[in-house]
Amino acid sequence: MRIVVIGATGHVGGYLVPRLVEAGHEVIALSRGQHKVYREHGAWETVRRLVVDRSAEETAGTFGRRVRDLQPDAVVDMICFTLSSAQHLVEGLRGHVQHFLSCGTIWVHGHSVQVPTTEDQVRCPFGEYGVQKAQIEAYLLKEARLHGFPATVLHPGHIVGTGWAPLNPAGHFNPGVFVRLARGESLSLPNLGLETVHHVHADDVALAFAQALVRRNSAVGESFHVVSPAALTLRGYAEAVAGWFGKTASLSYLPWEQWRAATGEDEAAQTWDHIAHSPNCSIEKAHRLLGFRPCYSSLQAVYESVMWLIRHKVIEVA
């Protein structure tokens, strides 16, 4: 197939595009060209790369037509964040693509109710990002089920890979937390450290997109969680990281307001967003319908990423 990937050079695209090329597809990669590909791979030699600013072209009303004119069999939209953005693209592609895959997020669920959360649970999103992604999901699935638009939505958890800092055991992105744990230094966690995070390796996200393309008949009109086989508690995550360095985690626990007061504003806001959601999602549906079997557990994915940070001297743990 000819597959257009919108937002192709990012964390997921760096794995997805080589996977699609290796599977024999012709890939057209769209991005603004502002960032290098996260992961170099020989497959990029055969990929047609187009410099396109989706936001600017949407404002001009030309983006949907631009993608349609590339005559794709399938389109992977990695960077849709608003309902109007999704609507514009669907109107441009209606009747012209065999499969349309959109990247969502497990934030469409808001807080968890019965865990592991399944895709059929009622959506209670909060925060602009999750609310918009839930609206996009609802719109695309309705278009698929009512009007035959061939949409699939894949919802990743916290994406991890080499080249950037993973979500850490304190629920934010400061890689200094890994340093503290590696050195056996004390770390305080909010509440009882029992709130959860749910990572996924970027290559497993890429795998899920590739599988959805293969299993089109099962995928169209459906949404799927794309996460590791099991979520982590902050406490268990911290203990495991310390153990990688032969240390026992020295953890203390503070009620949220005290923990927030002792933490930088940005980091506290990131942690709040993660623990307020405390995701714990099921991949049973993706396993059953797409044959999705992630290669990485959460800890394996984070381990690979942290070792990359050490090797590239982003963090110093000795």
Ligand X SMILES: NC(=O)c1ccc[n+]([C@@H]2O[C@H](COP(=O)([O-])OP(=O)(O)OC[C@H]3O[C@@H](n4cnc5c(N)ncnc54)[C@H](OP(=O)(O)O)[C@@H]3O)[C@@H](O)[C@H]2O)c1
- Rounded to the nearest whole angstrom, what is the least distance from the CB of residue 205 to ligand X in the complex? 8
Would you call the peptide bond into 116 cis, given omega within 30 degrees of 0 as the criterion? yes
Of 5 and 238, CB closest to ligand X: 5
Residue 217 as a binder of ligand X (CB under 6 A): the answer is: no
Of 85 and 263, CB closest to ligand X: 85
Q: Does residue 251 contact residue 235 with C-beta atoms inside 8 Å?
A: yes
- Residue in 179, 181, 308 with CA at minimum distance from that of residue 250: 181
Q: Does residue 254 contact residue 261 with C-beta atoms inside 8 Å?
A: no
What phi-psi label fits residue 191: left (phi over 0), alpha (psi between -120 and 50 degrees) or beta? left
Q: Does residue 91 contact residue 68 with C-beta atoms inside 8 Å?
A: no
- Rounded to the nearest whole angstrom, what is the least distance from the CB of residue 254 to ligand X in the complex? 26
Of 11 and 201, CB closest to ligand X: 11
Residue 79 as a binder of ligand X (CB under 6 A): the answer is: yes
Of 30 and 290, CB closest to ligand X: 30
Residue 89 as a binder of ligand X (CB under 6 A): the answer is: no
Using CB under 6 A as the binding rule, the residues of this chain from 11 to 50 that contact ligand X are 11-13, 30-35
Q: What mask of x and - would describe binding to ligand X in positions 147 to 186, judged by CB under 6 A?
A: ---------x-xx---------------------------
Of 159 and 238, CB closest to ligand X: 159
| Opening angle at CA 94, ends 89 and 98, nearest 5 | 105
Structure-token pair, residue 139: 């719109």
Residue 68 as a binder of ligand X (CB under 6 A): the answer is: no
- Rounded to the nearest whole angstrom, what is the least distance from the CB of residue 11 to ligand X in the complex? 4
Q: Applying CB under 6 A, what is the total number of residues that bind ligand X? A: 24
Binds ligand X by CB under 6 A, chosen from 74, 78, 136, 220: 78
Binds ligand X by CB under 6 A, chosen from 3, 27, 93, 105: 105
- Rounded to the nearest whole angstrom, what is the least distance from the CB of residue 263 to ligand X in the complex? 20
| Distance linking the first and last C-alpha atoms of the chain | 49
- Residue in 311, 283, 285, 309 with CA at minimum distance from that of residue 297: 283
- Rounded to the nearest whole angstrom, what is the least distance from the CB of residue 164 to ligand X in the complex? 8
Using CB under 6 A as the binding rule, the residues of this chain from 272 to 301 that contact ligand X are none
Q: Does residue 15 contact residue 206 with C-beta atoms inside 8 Å?
A: yes
Stretch that binds ligand X, among 6-14, 119-127, 175-183, 306-314 (CB under 6 A): 6-14
Residue spans of beta strands (DSSP E) within 78-174: 99-103, 151-156, 158-160
Cβ-proximal residues to 81 (8 Å cutoff; 6+ apart), any chain = 129, 132, 133, 136
The residues of the shown chain that bind ligand X, judged by CB under 6 A, are: 7-13, 30-35, 52-55, 78-79, 103, 105, 156, 158-159
